[in-house]
Amino acid sequence: MAVDEKTVAEVAHLARLQIDGELVSEYAREMSNVLALAETMNDIDTSDVEPMAHPTHAVQRLRDDAVTETNQREAFQQCAPSVEAGYYLVPQVIE
């Protein structure tokens, strides 16, 4: 897909970018090259390629799921303006 100077100007306007008028034709050429590369990559057969969750097959180290703090609900709710049955009361914002 070839990108013309008008398309570059429209994209720049939508992206709120100010570009130098002298460089518009160069940007059009570079955008056309990127789209041509993407089109070339679309033609590659990837049916035998297994999807990867991470490019380096890294494994995330997980910590034990253990309680490390004590329950301080009462202490925290003493500072709250409104509390009822252990819950914070907030003004209704949606009718």
E strand spans, the chain: 83-84, 87-88
Please give the Cα distance from 11 to 5 (Å, whole number).
Answer: 10
Residue ranges covered by each domain of the chain: 5-42
pTM for the full predicted model: 0.50
Torsion, Cα of 11, 17, 22, 26 (10° steps)? -50
**Residue 1: what pLDDT?**
72
> From first to last of its 95 residues, what are the pLDDT tens digits of the chain?
789 999 999 999 999 999 998 999 999 999 999 999 999 999 999 999 888 877 887 778 898 999 999 999 999 999 999 999 999 999 999 98
